[in-house]
């Protein structure tokens, strides 16, 4: 193991102009206190509509002590692709990378523990929240549902782990070999098989701005994760169909027996309920199949994940997009 660890910090940013200078000052203070490392910070502007990019340019030009460089994507391509854009430009001399959100709700002091775990021989170190007590009831409940769905669909996610992690150079090079357009890093990275450790931390409230993950985006993220990693939803359609067939046969037997015993009655209500039930099943099944077909459609076109509009500071490219 090298005595000086060359560490890169990748910060995906979307409308973070209000918090960026504060976050970078806190981050620098922690990194300067870790012995035996040199570091640089890469901010990835994911199509922000505020002054995030001018702020990155200003800080990279006026605050050399931040060791800051920036990448501006041509449009908003999503959190996962913004992280990949940063990973693809960390430079060949980097030993390890830490990814985290620019709002620093994830306790930046945990980076020291991650570095310690890395030096013990772990190639992936996951930051995991100790609890979700600070979240609202709705946030806690939906998060519990999210991880429950992931577990039931056999998606290899770690509960209460988001995008706060350290990865070695070998892990990054391996990760960049994944060519799919539908990226779900929370599932891909734990499934890679490299030696992994966990660091627990407490999540802080946002100092500025508001959350970029409302309930609708969390739902879309859950669907993306499940359908990117598991065919269980499609398999469940077959099981539901078999159960429905069993119920249909049972009802058919009941109707025949009722007719033979002279106890048949007009069945408008039961008929309508059956039609609505079966129609709902058909629509759900088509929706699930359509989700997978849509992913196939996006994958076979093999379009680039993102385009870089401009850069600032010393940004290097280490792979092809």
Q: How far apart are CA 244 and CA 233, in angstroms?
A: 16
Q: Is residue 102 part of a domain?
A: yes
- Its domain, for residue 193, covers 5-209+304-312
| Residue labelled with tokens 């890093």 | 185
Find the mean pLDDT for residues 111-132.
93
Residues 173 and 244 in one domain: no
Together in a domain, 185 and 242: no
For residue 318, pLDDT over 50 is answered with: no
Q: Are residues 197 and 236 in the same domain?
A: no
- Are 20 and 59 contained in the same domain? yes
Q: Do residues 121 and 195 lie in contact, with contact meaning Cβ atoms separated by under 8 Å? A: yes
Q: Give the number of domains in the chain.
A: 2
The H-or-E segment that residue 12 falls in is: strand 5-13
Mean pLDDT (the chain) is 81
Here the tokens at position 312 are 């600032």
* Residue 185 sits in the same domain as residue 260: no
Report whether pLDDT(122) > 80: yes
308 and 285 belong to one structural domain: no
Give 167-197 pLDDT, tens digit per residue: 999 999 999 998 887 788 988 899 899 999 9
**pTM to 2 decimal places:** 0.74
- Report pLDDT for 316: 58
201 and 256 inside one domain: no
- Within 10 angstroms of residue 284's Cβ, the number of other Cβ atoms is 14
Do 181 and 256 fall within a single domain? no
Residue 320 has pLDDT above 50, yes or no: no
Is there a domain that residue 321 lies in? no
* Least confident span in 50-64, 116-130, 145-159, 245-259: 245-259
Instruction: Kindly state whether residue 188 falls inside one of the protein's structural domains.
Output: yes
pLDDT at 142: 72
Is 51 within a domain? yes
Look up residue 48 and give its two tokens: 């922000």
Rounded to whole angstroms, the Cα distance separating 48 from 273 reads: 48
Residues 64 and 174 in one domain: yes
Mean pLDDT to the nearest integer, 127-155: 75
- Please indicate, yes or no, whether residues 180 and 244 belong to a single structural domain of this protein: no
């Amino acid at each position: 193991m090298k005595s000086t660890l060359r560490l890169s910090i990748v910060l995906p940013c979307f409308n973070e102009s209000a918090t960026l200078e504060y976050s970078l000052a806190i981050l620098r203070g922690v990194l300067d206190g870790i012995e035996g490392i040199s570091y640089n910070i890469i901010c990835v502007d994911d199509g922000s509509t505020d002054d995030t990019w001018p702020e990155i340019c200003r800080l990279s030009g006026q605050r050399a002590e931040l060791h800051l460089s920036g990448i501006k994507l041509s449009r908003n391509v999503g959190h996962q692709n913004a992280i990949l854009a940063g990973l693809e430009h960390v430079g060949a001399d980097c030993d390890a990378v830490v990814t985290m959100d620019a709002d620093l709700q994830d306790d930046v002091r945990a980076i020291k523990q991650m570095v310690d775990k890395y030096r013990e021989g772990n190639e992936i170190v996951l930051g995991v929240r100790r609890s979700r007590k600070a979240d609202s009831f709705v946030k806690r409940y939906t998060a519990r549902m999210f991880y429950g769905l992931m577990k039931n669909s056999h998606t290899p996610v770690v509960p209460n782990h988001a995008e706060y992690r350290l990865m070695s150079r070998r892990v990054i090079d391996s990760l960049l070999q994944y060519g799919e357009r539908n990226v779900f890093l929370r599932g891909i990275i734990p499934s890679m098989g490299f030696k992994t450790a966990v660091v627990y931390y407490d999540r802080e409230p946002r100092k500025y701005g508001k959350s970029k993950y409302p309930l609708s985006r969390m739902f879309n993220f859950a669907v993306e994760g499940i359908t990117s990693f598991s065919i269980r939803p499609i398999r469940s359609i077959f099981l539901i169909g078999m159960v429905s067939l069993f119920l249909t046969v049972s009802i058919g037997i009941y109707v025949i027996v009722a007719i033979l015993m002279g106890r048949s009655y007009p069945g408008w209500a039961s008929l309508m309920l059956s039609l609505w039930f079966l129609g709902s099943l058909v629509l759900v099944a088509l929706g699930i199949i359509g989700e997978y077909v849509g992913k196939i459609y996006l994958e076979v076109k093999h379009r680039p994940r993102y385009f870089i509009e401009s850069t600032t500071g010393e940004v290097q490219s280490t792979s092809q997009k």
